[in-house]
Amino acid sequence: MTATQEPEHVKQKKYGAHDIPSYLDPNHIGPYEIYLEQVERVTPYLGKLAYWIETLKRPKRILVVDVPIHLDDGTVAHFEGYRVQHNTSRGPAKGGIRYHQDVTLSEVMALSAWMTIKNAAVNLPYGGGKGGVRIDPRKYSTGEIERVTRRYATEIGLIIGPEKDIPAPDVNTNPQTMAWIMDTYSMNVGRTSTGVVTGKPVALGGSLGRADATGRGVFVTGAEAMKKLNLPMEGARIAIQGFGNVGEAAARIFHQHGAKIVAIQDVTGTIHSDAGIDPGAALEHLRRTGKITEFPGSEEIQKAEFWSVDCDVLIPAALENQITLANADQIKARLIVEGANGPTNPAADDLLTGKGVVIVPDVLANAGGVTVSYFEWVQDFSSFFWTEEEINKRLDRIMSEAFLSLWDVKEQHGVTLRTAVYIVSCTRVLEARALRGLYP
Amino acid sequence: MRASGLNWQGLMEQLQQALPHCDVTDQSLAYFKYPKRTVTMNLPVQMDDGSVMVFKGFRTVHSTARGPSMGGMRLKAGLNAHECEVLAAIMTLKAAVADLPLGGAKGGVDVDPAALSPHETEGLVRRYTSEIVELIGPRTDILAPDVGSDAQMMAWMMDTYNQNTDTTVNGMVVGKPLPLGGTYASKDARGRSAALITARVLQEAGRSLHRAPCAVYGFGDVGRKAAQTLAAEGAMVIAVSDQDGATFASGGLDLEALSQHREMFGTVEGFATDITVNELLELDVDVLMLAYDYGTINASNAYAVRADYLVEATNRAVLPEAERFLKERGVVVIPDLVASLGGAVVNYLEWVQDASNFFWTEEEIEAAIDERVNAAVDGVMEFMQTRDLDLRTAAYAVALNRLHNATVMRGVYP
């Protein structure tokens, strides 16, 4: 019997004193159910704060909007839009806006809740939010997408703002989308408001350091974990899957600090070198030839062999669900730093944890992106912008402090870092809730 | 503990002495003489027994010439509008002495907080906030903890304001808990800098805190930290008092153990030799640190003071009539406008952090406090020395000059 087939009374017991909200189908709760289970699991660690636990299970506010636009052919089309503010106890809601034909309310609810967890894990003064429009952007012209964006921004304009809820790019949205939202919102409120969204182009109040932010966060948390494991950085052997925005930056920064990149895998192939690969030269080679393979001084290996490469640190920075039972037992690394979202499936996670491998979970390892989003918002308040060095210095501080407080909780409770994230985040959110109380 | 009434007239008379050393005109002085506004409100609260009680609340904004007003919110039996106006004016002066871009305010409720349950307190604080929600905000008037109020109440005020305005702004109240946009050093700044400024004033006079006997009146956040800092500077803290009584040890008190004792028993009594609070005020000490509330030293007990230095870690601890008398006897008063600057500065720095939502480390905050407090004390000392004044008169003059400049440049509107 799966969870979704359980009788109603079982479900009520499982999710606390209250029913599943009426706006979710109890038989098909969807992604929000995964989140509810995660909260259930850490409730015993929350002590007296568990009194407030229901607060985490219910989003503060859900707005469903109709988004009508004129299509290029002269007809009118309607799209469903959502904005969910899961929690604002620690600060304004914050989270991306995605455009996808399969977006559902349950998905947006779950994503907004995960933003609450992520923001609290890094100790940013934010709650969590997420938005989405049910549209397949590939089927529409740029003009149509702009009209959808502006109408959607106007509809949710009632509840967003620099001191209320700050959207950011997500699946199928980008700095241009954010520029349209910023412009629409600014026109509607009658003043320039750059801080209403982050992920803007640098010319419109965006922040420097954004391109490298996630990869840099992977490096900072990875380096802190290596200290805990007594793994010296000098000469440490690193294998990286993915050589895009995140993987390339992480490889470059690890290399700069004396580590040795022994393997890189991307869509074009897998290369290996015991002597170490210079990521700068590899990027140059990739740009010139269109592939990572045949890089001088490296040997090409089979795709599956990547997992058994002799290394100290493994960084999956490509896609989700890469480390599975099919390859987990071949992994030689003592440390895995999840640059990508969800690269390790739960069964593989259990197996690796059982072997004593430490996994720095995605919510922490790739939080460099949202941290620089936070810096962008901070800079927008004063319209005074920081240098890239200042941003990197502050990013390093926030990421390493976040890692260290999670590590303490991991040690204290004898749990994985992934569980520690939930314990720390739920504690921080409910601590704020308890201090604020209920009003009126 | 005793506190005599505050007097607007007394404040004005002290100001008079500073006027010959200021650039003020009758017009700019008028802005100081009349507080900008005082709101009086009646606050109904549902009590735990089901009855409804109505409390009197006040909020005075004294001046916004140099920026939004900032000042405490106190819960205290007998509070009245007059008291709020005097204390708000002192906040205006203090912000000006520290050269902060802020004006002064004060407010609170006439209630004995010890007589309320936590639930009743929350109801009262939230009702108070709702009544003035249109008048407060990070750009208009900022509230802070004061006598009888604490960080938890600031959290309730912030939450009430947020719910009423549908924002997550946190800069309309300072002294908040850290997870809600508070700052490091919030509780410690005032006591710490009161002690450091005392050390500095003694040094200028060719004396030292080393082995100097000191007494501390009041052992809340301010008194405790002031006592610890005095001891760290080499002084012997020989007596400490709180609401119940005082304790004394001629060779100096072990402050760490005393704090633990107080945490366990709720009072400093019974730790060493118990004395009365009046006996503490009469001790022959080098420094008497006043860290409770205004009016501690007044006309009726000034004659018995044997300390060489009185430090107003709290506003108006020495009333004007007492100060005149003490001055003749050669007692030096380190006035509130100098001694308690640390509190105003840390509140300002919390507000600055909240404005950008970017938070500093503990080291950064302490360095920023010291930098600003030292610069302010430098300014007052220099003025004092060139004009041969006492510290209080010099502080008034420095503040009034800054207020005058702002008032004149802004002009009269409409």
DSSP string, A174-217: -HHHHHHHHHHHHHHHTS--GGG-SS--GGGT--TTHHHHHHHH
Instruction: Give pLDDT, residue A9.
Output: 45
End-to-end CA distance of chain B: 47
User: In angstroms, rounded to a whole number, what is the distance separating the alpha carbons of residues A148 and A140?
Assistant: 10
**Residue whose C-alpha is closest to residue A63's, from A160, A150, A180, A181:** A160
Sign of the four-CA dihedral A8, A13, A15, A21: positive
Decide if B359 and A125 are in contact by the 8 Å CB cutoff: yes
Instruction: Give pLDDT, residue A19.
Output: 67
Decide if A381 and B356 are in contact by the 8 Å CB cutoff: yes
DSSP single-letter state for residue A271: E
Number of A to B CB contacts under 8 A, please give it.
55
Which chain B residue has the Cα nearest residue A384?
B356
Q: Which of B36, B76, B94, B106 is catalytic?
A: B106
Interval B240-249 mean pLDDT: 94
**Residue whose C-alpha is closest to residue A104's, from A81, A137, A87:** A81
Residue for token pair 């509140």: B347
Instruction: Give pLDDT, residue B3.
Output: 42
Taking contacts as CB-CB distances below 8 angstroms, the residues of chain A near B357 are 91, 125, 377-378, 381
Dihedral Cα B188, B190, B193, B198, nearest 10 deg: -130
Sign of the four-CA dihedral A199, A203, A205, A210: positive
Phi, psi of A165 (to 5 degrees): -165, 125
User: In angstroms, rounded to a whole number, what is the distance separating the alpha carbons of residues A55 and A10?
Assistant: 21
What is the β-pairing status of strands A358-360 and A335-337? parallel
Instruction: Give pLDDT, residue A23.
Output: 87
A354–B contact, CB cutoff 8 A: no
CA distance A433 to chain B (A): 10
User: In angstroms, rounded to a whole number, what is the distance separating the alpha carbons of residues A293 and A243?
Assistant: 12
User: In angstroms, rounded to a whole number, what is the distance separating the alpha carbons of residues A88 and B41?
Assistant: 30
Rounded to the nearest 5 degrees, what angle is found at the Cα of B309, between the Cα atoms of B307 and B315? Answer: 110
Return the H-helix or E-strand segment holding A241. strand A237-241
Residue for token pair 């012209």: A141
**Residue whose C-alpha is closest to residue B294's, from B150, B151, B146, B186:** B146
Phi, psi of B198 (to 5 degrees): -60, -45
Instruction: Give pLDDT, residue A426.
Output: 98
Instruction: Give pLDDT, residue A373.
Output: 97
Chain B contact probe: residue of A194, A436, A438 with most B CBs at under 10 A: A436
Name the residue among B156, B160, B167 with its Cβ closest to that of A164.
Answer: B167
Helix H, strand E, coil C: the string for chain B is CCCCCCCHHHHHHHHHHHHHHCCCCHHHHHHHHCCCEEEEEEEEEECCCCCEEEEEEEEEEEECCCCCEEEEEEECCCCCHHHHHHHHHHHHHHHHHCCCCCEEEEEEECCCHHHCCHHHHHHHHHHHHHHCCCCCECCCEEEEECCCCCHHHHHHHHHHHHHHHCCCCCCCECCCCHHHCCCCCCCCHHHHHHHHHHHHHHHHCCCCCCCCEEEEECCCHHHHHHHHHHHHCCCEEEEEECCCCEEECCCCCCHHHHHHHHHHHCCCCCCCEEECHHHHHCCCCCEEEECCCCCCECCCCHHHCCCCEEEECCCCCECHHHHHHHHHCCCEEECHHHHCHHHHHHHHHHHHHHHHCCCCCHHHHHHHHHHHHHHHHHHHHHHHHHHCCCHHHHHHHHHHHHHHHHHHHHCCCC
Residue A2 has pLDDT above 50, yes or no: no
Q: Is the peptide bond before B68 cis (omega within 30 degrees of 0)?
A: no
User: What's the pLDDT tens digit per position in B322-371?
Assistant: 999 999 999 999 999 999 999 999 999 999 999 999 999 999 999 999 99
Whole-number mean pLDDT of chain B?
A: 95
Instruction: Give pLDDT, residue A422.
Output: 96
Instruction: Give pLDDT, residue A13.
Output: 44
CA distance B341 to chain A (A): 26
User: In angstroms, rounded to a whole number, what is the distance separating the alpha carbons of residues B15 and B58?
Assistant: 25
User: In angstroms, rounded to a whole number, what is the distance separating the alpha carbons of residues B341 and A405?
Assistant: 34
**Residue whose C-alpha is closest to residue B225's, from B131, B106, B314, B117:** B314
Query: Which 143-162 residues of chain A touch chain B by CB within 8 A?
Result: 161
Decide if A439 and B126 are in contact by the 8 Å CB cutoff: yes
Decide if B355 and A431 are in contact by the 8 Å CB cutoff: no
Sign of the four-CA dihedral B301, B302, B303, B306: positive
User: What's the pLDDT tens digit per position in A28-66?
Assistant: 888 999 899 999 999 999 999 999 999 999 999 999 999
Spatial CB neighbours of B305, under 8 Å, sequence gap ≥ 6: B281, B282, B288, B297, B326, B331
User: In angstroms, rounded to a whole number, what is the distance separating the alpha carbons of residues A117 and A363?
Assistant: 8
Q: A17 pLDDT band (50/70/90 cuts)?
A: very low
Q: Which residues from B are below 8 Å from A when comparing CB atoms?
A: 122, 126, 152, 155-156, 158-160, 162-163, 166-170, 177, 179-181, 355-359
Decide if B160 and A381 are in contact by the 8 Å CB cutoff: no
Query: Which 100-129 residues of chain A touch chain B by CB within 8 A?
Result: 125, 127
User: What's the pLDDT tens digit per position in A88-147?
Assistant: 999 999 999 999 999 999 999 999 999 999 999 999 999 999 999 999 999 999 999 999
Instruction: Give pLDDT, residue A12.
Output: 47
Q: Are B290 and B311 in contact (CB under 8 A)?
A: yes
Instruction: Give pLDDT, residue A4.
Output: 45
Spatial CB neighbours of A67, under 8 Å, sequence gap ≥ 6: A78, A79, A80, A81, A133, A148, A151, A152, A155
Instruction: Give pLDDT, residue A320.
Output: 87
Instruction: Give pLDDT, residue B5.
Output: 66
User: In angstroms, rounded to a whole number, what is the distance separating the alpha carbons of residues B144 and B153?
Assistant: 10
Indicate the residue type of A97. I
- Reply yes or no on whether B187 is catalytic: no
DSSP single-letter state for residue A144: H
Q: Are B287 and B308 in contact (CB under 8 A)?
A: yes
Indicate the residue type of B128. Y
Instruction: Give pLDDT, residue B150.
Output: 95
Chain A contact probe: residue of B117, B169, B358 with most A CBs at under 10 A: B358
Decide if A440 and B158 are in contact by the 8 Å CB cutoff: no
Instruction: Give pLDDT, residue B2.
Output: 37
Taking contacts as CB-CB distances below 8 angstroms, the residues of chain A near B159 are 436-437, 439
Indicate the residue type of A210. R
Residue A5 has pLDDT above 90, yes or no: no
User: In angstroms, rounded to a whole number, what is the distance separating the alpha carbons of residues B219 and B240?
Assistant: 7
Q: Residue A342, SS3?
A: coil
* Beta bridge partners of residue B274, listed in sequence order: B247
Indicate the residue type of A261. I
Decide if A92 and B122 are in contact by the 8 Å CB cutoff: no
User: What's the pLDDT tens digit per position in B9-53?
Assistant: 989 988 999 999 999 999 899 999 999 999 999 999 999 999 999
Q: Residue A349, SS3?
A: helix
- Give me A33's structure tokens: 């159910």
Decide if B179 and A431 are in contact by the 8 Å CB cutoff: yes
User: What's the pLDDT tens digit per position in B291-311?
Assistant: 998 999 999 999 999 999 999
Residue-wise DSSP of A350-388: HHHHHTT-EEE-HHHHTTHHHHHHHHHHHHHHHT----H
What is the β-pairing status of strands A260-266 and A269-277? antiparallel
Instruction: Give pLDDT, residue A339.
Output: 94
Share of chain B above pLDDT 70, in %: 99
Residue-wise DSSP of A272-325: EEEEEE-HHHHHHHHHHHSSSTT-TT-EEE-TGGGGGS--SEEEE-S-SS-B-T
- Give me A141's structure tokens: 């012209």
Residue A18 has pLDDT above 70, yes or no: no
User: What's the pLDDT tens digit per position in A147-168?
Assistant: 999 999 999 999 999 999 999 9
Q: A1 pLDDT band (50/70/90 cuts)?
A: very low
Q: Is the peptide bond before B179 cis (omega within 30 degrees of 0)?
A: no
User: What's the pLDDT tens digit per position in B52-108?
Assistant: 999 999 999 999 999 999 999 999 999 999 999 999 999 999 999 999 999 999 999
Whole-number mean pLDDT of chain A?
A: 94
Q: Residue A390, SS3?
A: helix
Which chain A residue has the Cα nearest residue B178?
A432
Taking contacts as CB-CB distances below 8 angstroms, the residues of chain B near A431 are 179
Return the H-helix or E-strand segment holding A432. helix A417-436
Instruction: Give pLDDT, residue B414.
Output: 83
Query: CA B33 from chain center: how many Å?
Result: 21
Share of chain B above pLDDT 90, in %: 95
User: In angstroms, rounded to a whole number, what is the distance separating the alpha carbons of residues B82 and B35?
Assistant: 11
Q: Residue A124, SS3?
A: coil
Instruction: Give pLDDT, residue A268.
Output: 94
User: What's the pLDDT tens digit per position in B161-220?
Assistant: 999 999 999 999 999 999 999 999 999 999 999 999 999 999 999 999 999 999 999 999
Taking contacts as CB-CB distances below 8 angstroms, the residues of chain B near A88 are 162, 168
Indicate the residue type of B107. G
